[in-house]
């Protein structure tokens, strides 16, 4: 399936050019490549001690929390380097010959042009995104340039995202499948579909590949950028970041403050620095900078920069404790996250208390800012969480039978609430999926009714997940008569037992809406 996907850097979006993708010389599709994939071979490690590059002192994101960084642990021999860990970068073009990436890349494929070279064409000025994200994860511990968070990790460089406006992305399910067959430990995704706040499931092929290849107890840890659309386009409107297996990462500023462009959402697990990150750039004049690296003055910004920082931290955690499963990783990242300065956040984004043992949660930054040293320390001593289980409410109607849905008062916060009691199926919550079906009251108005809805889930102990807010869309906010699936990490650590309530209200005039049904699926242990 060809579709338009968006990489998530903030600059230089004004200089995008239109180009055509697809139809390369390597073949007619990716099937031959996928058939050839076997377990990745880890990159060779250099002799100790590891070398320092001259620009590492300018990589403030590696510094302590008080300096606005993620507190990467010091090398300890080969420890805290990501050695042996494989990370697939599903991204735009990646310059695999870059002096700070060439020793890290152990496999490469171009899923758009069907060949094995994901590099940008020489002289390209704009196709720098995948080179920047790759350096954040794993730029080499050598004598040149910068270092990554996990500088001895192995990279699989997969070009699958359009690098230019108007260019078609490749089949994501192919790249996801290849990464899983290569048995990588982490898949980094610094992209989304258009940040347009439309409630629609955009990619059933991707979901099918996730279902086939990625689980909570096996398979790679899948990390996604939250998106750069700000509070008008919550990450809870996005198919990918709503997947219950995904770790969604927002961006924080250079002083650890919340950033307004970073999309809030109940599915945001945590944030990482996303402002002016010093990383690898296209060699020479091409790219963001005139040199081979971005500088603090012209650095790499966006949730695109934040996500690979967390992917690098996950690599360090998995090196420290190879027995961690995706759920353990999410649990540790949440528990060890550090507070974010939310003084300038809007009121509805203020931090709120969480379940016992977890930091306060804000839709703006999740459980907080990633703390690499604390996450690695806890990873070493963490006992795997118990076998995953689910509580599933099945579809519930807000009205009593035979009435199915209930009309919502228009332009009112009164709304309609529906409750479900979790009884015997008790567990400790990892995360929650909420499916919602809502309709327009009149059949001739399918365009914007879903943008009128305010949707809030309240747990038995009173913790709230705000899942959708009244918002506008360029054309169509999405038809959710057949359902839309939100997810929330906000209830992590709570017990499932008790009364859950979903309140839906229509808080904009004109379009008239109806709350038809909902379903609660609690993942826990």
Shortest Å distance, C-beta 48 to Ca ion: 16
Question: Exactly one of 318, 511, 514, 519 binds Ca ion (CB under 5 A); which one?
Answer: 511
Tell me how far, at minimum, the Cβ of 135 lies from Ca ion, in Å: 9
Query: Given the complex with Ca ion, which of 452 and 516 has the nearer CB atom?
Result: 452
Q: What's the closest the beta carbon of residue 144 comes to Ca ion, in angstroms?
A: 5
**185 or 508: whose CB is closer to Ca ion?**
508
- Least distance in angstroms from the C-beta of 249 to Ca ion: 23
Query: How many residues bind to Ca ion according to rule CB under 5 A?
Result: 14
Single residue of 119, 133, 142, 488 touching Ca ion by CB under 5 A: 142
Rounded distance between C-alpha atoms, residue 518 and residue 367, angstroms: 26
CA distance 329 to 379: 8
The correct pick among 61, 88, 100, 261 for binding Ca ion (CB under 5 A) is 100
Query: Between 292 and 371, whose beta carbon lies closer to Ca ion?
Result: 292
By CB under 5 A, tell whether 282 contacts Ca ion.
yes
What does residue 334 show for φ and ψ, rounded to 5 degrees? -65, -45
Classified as helix, coil or strand, 125 is coil
Nearest approach in angstroms of CB 245 to Ca ion is: 32
SS3 call for 318: helix
Identify the residue among 506, 516, 520, 522 touching Ca ion (CB under 5 A): 506
**Judging by DSSP bridges, how do beta strands 429-440 and 484-488 pair with one another?**
antiparallel
- Closest approach of Ca ion to the CB of residue 280, in Å: 8
SS3 506: strand
Q: Which of residues 410, 426, 445, 476 is near Ca ion by CB under 5 A?
A: 410
For every residue of 168-234, DSSP letters joined together read: PB--HHHHHHHHHHTT-SEEEE-EEE--S-------HHHHHHHHHH--SSSS-EEEEE--SSGGGS-
User: Does position 103 bind Ca ion by CB under 5 A?
Assistant: no
Decide: is 279 part of the binding site for Ca ion (CB under 5 A).
no
Sign, CA dihedral 371-373-379-382, equals: negative
- The distance of closest approach from Cβ of residue 444 to Ca ion in the complex, given in angstroms and rounded to an integer, is 15
Interface with Ca ion by CB under 5 A: which range of 188-196, 248-256, 283-291, 484-492? 283-291
Compute the distance between CA of residue 9 and CA of residue 82 in angstroms, rounded to an integer.
25
| Residue 36 burial (CB count, 10 A) | 11
241 near Ca ion, rule: CB under 5 A: no
Helix H, strand E, coil C: the string for 4-62 is: CEEECCCCCHHHCCCCCCCCCCCCCCCHHHHHHCCCCCCCCCCCCCCCCCCCHHHCHHH
Site for Ca ion in 53-82 (CB under 5 A): 53
Binding map of Ca ion across residues 14-53, x = CB under 5 A, - = no contact: ---------------------------------------x
Regarding 452 and contact with Ca ion (CB under 5 A), the answer is yes
Give yes or no for residue 130 binding Ca ion (CB under 5 A): no
Q: Which is nearer to Ca ion, 129 or 519 (CB)?
A: 129
Neighbour tally for 315: CB within 10 Å: 31
Give the residues across from 348 on adjacent strands.
Answer: none
Distance CA 224, CA 206 (A): 14
Strand spans (E) along 118-240: 154-159, 186-189, 191-193, 221-225
User: How many other C-beta atoms can be found within 10 angstroms of the C-beta atom of residue 501?
Assistant: 15
Distance CA 397, CA 239 (A): 24
The reply on whether position 298 binds Ca ion by CB under 5 A is no
Neighbours of 343 (CB within 10 A): 8
Q: Does residue 451 belong to the site contacting Ca ion (CB under 5 A)?
A: no
With CB under 5 A as the contact rule, the residue among 81, 93, 134, 289 that binds Ca ion is 289
Choices 195-203, 289-297, 389-397, 478-486 (CB under 5 A): range interacting with Ca ion: 289-297
Rule CB under 5 A: choose which of 120, 145, 299, 302 binds Ca ion: 145
Question: How many Å is the Cα radius of gyration of the chain?
Answer: 22
The stretch among 295-303, 429-437, 453-461, 504-512 that binds Ca ion (CB under 5 A) is 504-512
> What are the residues binding Ca ion (CB under 5 A)?
53, 100, 140, 142, 145, 281-282, 287, 289, 410, 452, 506, 508, 511
């Amino acid at each position: 399936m060809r579709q338009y996907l968006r990489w998530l850097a903030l600059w230089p979006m004004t200089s995008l050019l239109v180009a055509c993708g697809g139809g390369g010389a390597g073949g007619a599709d990716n099937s031959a490549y996928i058939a050839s994939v076997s377990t990745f071979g880890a990159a060779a490690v250099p002799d100790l001690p590891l070398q320092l590059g001259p620009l590492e002192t300018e990589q403030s994101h590696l510094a302590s929390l008080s300096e606005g960084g993620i507190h990467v642990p010091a090398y300890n021999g080969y420890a805290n380097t990501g050695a042996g860990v494989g990370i697939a970068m599903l991204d735009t073009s990646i310059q695999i010959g870059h002096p700070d990436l060439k020793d890290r890349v152990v496999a490469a494929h171009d899923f758009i042009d069907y060949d094995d070279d994901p590099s940008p064409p020489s002289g390209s000025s704009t196709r720098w995104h995948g080179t920047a994200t790759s350096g954040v994860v794993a730029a080499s511990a050598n004598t040149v340039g910068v270092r990554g968070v996990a500088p001895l990790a192995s990279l699989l460089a997969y070009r699958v995202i359009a690098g230019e406006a108007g260019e078609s992305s490749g089949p994501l399910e192919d790249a996801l499948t290849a990464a899983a067959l290569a048995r990588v430990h982490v898949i980094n995704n610094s992209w989304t579909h258009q940040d347009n706040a439309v409630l629609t499931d955009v990619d059933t092929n991707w979901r099918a590949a996730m279902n086939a290849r990625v689980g909570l107890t096996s398979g790679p840890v899948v990390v996604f950028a939250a998106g750069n659309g700000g509070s008008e386009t919550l990450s809870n409107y996005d198919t990918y970041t709503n997947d219950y297996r995904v770790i969604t990462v927002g961006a924080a500023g250079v002083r650890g403050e919340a950033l307004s462009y970073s999309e809030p959402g109940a599915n945001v697990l945590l944030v990482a620095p996303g402002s002016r990150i010093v990383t690898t750039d296209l060699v020479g004049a091409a790219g963001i900078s005139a040199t081979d690296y971005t500088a603090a003055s012209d650095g790499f910004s966006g949730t695109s920069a934040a996500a690979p920082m967390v992917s690098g931290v996950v690599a360090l955690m998995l090196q420290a404790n190879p027995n961690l499963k995706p759920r353990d990783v999410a649990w540790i990242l949440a528990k060890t996250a550090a507070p974010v300065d939310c003084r300038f956040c809007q009121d509805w984004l203020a931090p709120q208390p969480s379940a016992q043992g977890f930091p306060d949660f804000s839709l703006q930054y999740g459980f907080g800012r990633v703390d690499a040293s604390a996450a690695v320390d806890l990873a070493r001593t963490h006992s795997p969480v118990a076998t995953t289980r689910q509580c599933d409410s099945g579809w519930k109607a807000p009205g009593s039978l035979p009435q199915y849905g209930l009309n919502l008062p228009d332009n009112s916060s009164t709304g309609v609430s529906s409750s479900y009691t979790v009884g015997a199926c008790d567990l400790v919550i990892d995360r929650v999926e909420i499916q919602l079906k809502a309709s327009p009251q009149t059949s001739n108005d399918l365009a914007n009714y879903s943008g009128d809805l305010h949707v809030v889930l309240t747990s038995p102990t009173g913790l709230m997940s705000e899942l959708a807010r009244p918002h506008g869309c360029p054309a169509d906010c999405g038809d959710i008569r057949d359902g839309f699936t939100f997810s929330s990490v906000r209830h992590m650590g709570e017990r499932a037992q008790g009364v859950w309530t979903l309140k839906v209200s229509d808080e904009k005039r004109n379009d008239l809406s109806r709350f038809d049904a909902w379903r609660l699926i609690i993942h826990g242990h």
